Amino acid sequence: MLKQRIATAAVLLALLLPALFLEREWPFAVLTLVAMSAAGWEWARLNQAGNFAVPLGLLLGVACLLALMAGWASSAPRLVWWLAMLAWVLGGAWALRGGVAGWPRVPRALRWLIGLAALWVTWLAMVHAKFVGLNFILSIFCVVWAADVFAYFGGRAFGKRKLAPAISPGKSWEGVWSGAAGALVVAAIWLVVDARLATGSASLYTRVAAQLGFAGAALVVVFLVAMSIVGDLFESLVKRSAGAKDSSALLPGHGGVLDRVDALLPVFPIALALALR
d(CA 227, CA 223): 6
- pLDDT, greater one: 186 or 20: 186
Give domain limits for the chain: 2-275
pLDDT, one tens digit per residue, over 124-133 is: 999 999 999 9
- The yes-or-no verdict on residue 84 having pLDDT over 80 is yes
Task: Tally DSSP H helices, then E strands, for the chain.
Answer: 11, 2
Average pLDDT over residues 233-246: 94
pLDDT at 2 exceeding the cut of 70: no
Please compute the mean of the pLDDT values over residues 34-56 and round it to a whole number.
96
- Give mean pLDDT, residues 254-275: 94
**Mean pLDDT value of segment 237-266:** 92
**pLDDT (tens digit per residue) in 151-196:** 999 999 998 899 999 999 989 999 999 999 999 999 999 999 998 8
The span from the CA of 249 to the CA of 182, in Å, is 30
* Stated length of the chain: 277
Predicted local distance difference test score (pLDDT) of residue 67: 93
Under the banding of pLDDT at 50, 70 and 90, the label for residue 1 is low
How far apart, in whole angstroms, are the C-alpha atoms of residue 265 and residue 19? 20
